[in-house]
Amino acid sequence: TLKPAYVGGKNFLTLEREHFGKRDTTKSMRMFFTAVFLASFLKSWVNRVRQKRQPILIIYASVTGNAAAYASKLGSVLRACSQVTFFDCCGTNSADDLQIMTLVKSSTLCIFITSTQGNGELPSLSRKFFSTLFGKKGHVLLDKNCA
């Protein structure tokens, strides 16, 4: 059987060097260090984005619990990338109005989830809250992203 030349004599790298000449590794090393630099840059960028968790406010109105279930499902998904706050507007009173206005002002995104009754009307327990939010004090929503 025929055996490669390096088995009985010179090793593979010596034969390669004799035939092709010395390897030039500068380009491959430059590409390697560029990849390492990009990986460390992306890691620091991802960490910075994760530290700046944007506050999101989820306001829900639910009588039967369906909208609350949707709000909790959405909140569990959004918690991976942001700071989520929930607010149930069915049981609000005048003391909660001040609290919700400060929450709305501090959040970057307000998400409204509500169930409907009858012919698409709001739940009766949340009408006072929504009239307060979109009434005279509704100007806080003008510069907010709402969904």
Which has more confidence, 41 or 134? 41
Enter the pTM of the model: 0.59
Average pLDDT over all residues of the chain = 77
The per-residue pLDDT for 50 is 67
Q: Which of 19-33, 36-50, 129-143 has the lowest mean pLDDT?
A: 129-143
Q: How far apart are CA 59 and CA 136, in angstroms?
A: 19
The per-residue pLDDT for 6 is 53
